[in-house]
Amino acid sequence: MIAEETLVQELKSKESQAKAFEVLVNTYKERLYWHIRRIVLDHDDADDVLQNTFIKVYRNIDGFKGDSKLYSWMYRIATNESLTFLKQKSKKMGIGDQELKEHMVENLQADAYFEGDEIQLKLQKALATLPDKQKLVFTMKYFQEMKYEDISEVLETSVGALKASYHLAAKKIEAYLKAD
Amino acid sequence: MKKNNENKFNTPEGYFESFHDRLMDRIQNEESTTGSSIPKTDGFAVPGNYFEKVVPAILSKTTAEDVKVIPLGGRRNFYYAAASVAAIFLLVFGINWKTENTAFSFDDLASAEIDAYFENHDIGLSSYEIAEAIPLEDIQLNDVLAEDLTNDILWEYLEDNMEDIEDLHLENEEHE
């Protein structure tokens, strides 16, 4: 795999930009998709946000200073794009954030691209009860199996706070799943 | 009854030497499977070949110079928002710097420059957010536009860009 530093240099050079961007998209499309999908839940919405994320990366690559890893920077853009998307969606629908989350989970039952069973649907209901950041930390650690250090760079939160947040989220979810 | 003290049982070779490792493996395995009631997968799926198809879709949007992602409204709407944001800047700075001799007006800003600014800078605002940030009560669009924004122009724009006029949720019944 091409070294990140080399890839960034190629992305910033007009001559090599197109080819390097294709490499970037191919390298990160799946990871970013699943990250976005777990926030917006619906496949079509995830597709829109994924495309917007990459376009934003393409247009702002000159502003990438290399203070963090390229991977973390893109995750941060994807996270912001997803949360902004949900805010706009709730505004358009004229409902609150929590109402939108419940609506999204209800829609999963009719979603052709959700193959979860009863317990997985209940898991989504449990996740919808968590604050945004706690949910992000949980899904990034539990499903995406990211290291705390990497999550820390994306969410700009200390590792200690992330660990506490993760365990709190896990306990809440377990309690929700065991109830009834 | 004679007690038979002789051990007639046997064990596989190396059984006791490897016992500890096997025990620890089993404990770890049980902890990972029964230590949590949370399922390991979340049941999401994607359409077949999605990840192959999404690449050309993204690349086509970055190579075509004239394709812009504007979530809501048309390009003209975008210009109005851009002009309004620029007008706010001018009003704010105009108030603070009104004693200076080198006054400049909105006319000094070519639309190409405004366009270039929004092309090259990520302002991080959606059309909704821009609309929310602009206090239209204090600023009239006609103050910042080269041509007067007449009702005819507005209706023409809305007819061209709205699928259903009812989406506007107009409260005033006087519109035609």
pLDDT tens string B148-159:
677 777 777 777
Measured distance between the N- and C-terminal CA atoms of chain B, rounded to whole angstroms? 114
The answer to whether A120 contacts B128, with C-beta atoms less than 8 Å apart, is no
Look at residue B176 in the predicted model and tell me its pLDDT: 44
Question: pLDDT class for B147, splitting at 50, 70, 90?
Answer: low
Separation in Å, CA of B105 to nearest CA in chain A: 30
Nearest to A116 among B43, B69, B71 (CB): B43
Q: What residue ranges define each of the domains in chain A, with the CATH number in brackets? A: 1-113 (1.10.1740.10), 116-180 (1.10.10.10)
- Reduced to 3 states (helix: H, G, I; strand: E, B; else coil), residue B157 is helix
Residues of chain B with C-beta less than 8 angstroms from the C-beta of A36: none
Measured distance between the N- and C-terminal CA atoms of chain A, rounded to whole angstroms? 48
Instruction: Choose the weakest-confidence range: A79-83, A107-111, B15-19, B30-34.
Output: B30-34
- Distance, in Å, from the CA atom of A6 to the CA atom of A8, rounded to the nearest integer, reads 5
Q: Is B39 inside a domain boundary?
A: no
Percent of chain B, pLDDT > 70? 39
Percent of chain A, pLDDT > 70? 98
Q: DSSP characters for B65-105?
A: TT-----SS-HHHHHHHHHHHHHHHHHHHHHHTTT-S----
| Residue B73 reports pLDDT greater than 50 | no
ipTM: 0.85
| Residue A166 reports pLDDT greater than 70 | yes
The answer to whether B46 contacts A26, with C-beta atoms less than 8 Å apart, is no
| Residue B133 reports pLDDT greater than 70 | no
Residues in chain A: 180
Contact A100, A91 (CB under 8 A): no
Q: Is B126 inside a domain boundary?
A: yes
When comparing pLDDT for A58 and B114, which is higher?
Answer: A58
The answer to whether B55 contacts A120, with C-beta atoms less than 8 Å apart, is no
Residue B157 structural domain? 75-168
Mean pLDDT, range B136-141, rounded to an integer = 62
When comparing pLDDT for A102 and B114, which is higher?
Answer: A102
Q: What is the mean pLDDT of chain B?
A: 69
Question: pLDDT class for A132, splitting at 50, 70, 90?
Answer: very high
Residues of chain A with C-beta less than 8 angstroms from the C-beta of B56: none
Mean pLDDT, range A57-76, rounded to an integer = 90
The answer to whether A47 contacts B61, with C-beta atoms less than 8 Å apart, is no
The answer to whether A43 contacts B128, with C-beta atoms less than 8 Å apart, is no
When comparing pLDDT for A148 and B106, which is higher?
Answer: A148
Range A18-26 contact pairs with CB under 8 angstroms and sequence separation of 24 or more: A18/B59, A18/B63, A21/A58, A21/B59, A21/B62, A22/B55, A22/B59, A24/A54, A24/A57, A25/A54, A25/B55, A25/B58, A25/B59, A26/B55
The answer to whether B43 contacts A47, with C-beta atoms less than 8 Å apart, is no
Crossing angle of the two packed helices A70-93 and A43-60, in degrees rounded to 10: 130
Mean pLDDT, range A63-84, rounded to an integer = 91
Look at residue B174 in the predicted model and tell me its pLDDT: 46
When comparing pLDDT for A1 and A6, which is higher?
Answer: A6
Question: pLDDT class for A147, splitting at 50, 70, 90?
Answer: very high
Chain B residue at shortest CA distance from A41: B44
Range A173-180 contact pairs with CB under 8 angstroms and sequence separation of 24 or more: A173/A123, A173/A126, A173/A127, A173/A130, A173/A138, A173/B38, A174/B36, A174/B37, A174/B38, A176/A122, A176/A125, A176/A126, A176/A129, A177/A119, A177/A122, A177/A123, A177/A126, A177/B37, A177/B38, A178/B37
| Residue A21 reports pLDDT greater than 80 | yes
Tally of domains within chain B: 1
pLDDT digits (tens, 9 = 90+) for B19-47: 888 887 876 665 455 446 899 899 999 99
pLDDT digits (tens, 9 = 90+) for B88-129: 766 666 555 554 455 566 666 777 677 777 766 666 666 666
Separation in Å, CA of A11 to nearest CA in chain B: 13
Instruction: Choose the weakest-confidence range: A2-16, A122-136, A143-157, B101-115.
Output: B101-115
Q: What is the mean pLDDT of chain A?
A: 92
| Residue B60 reports pLDDT greater than 80 | yes
Q: Is B10 inside a domain boundary?
A: no
| Residue A42 reports pLDDT greater than 90 | yes
Question: pLDDT class for A84, splitting at 50, 70, 90?
Answer: very high
Residues of chain B with C-beta less than 8 angstroms from the C-beta of A84: 126
The answer to whether A25 contacts B51, with C-beta atoms less than 8 Å apart, is no
Look at residue A68 in the predicted model and tell me its pLDDT: 82
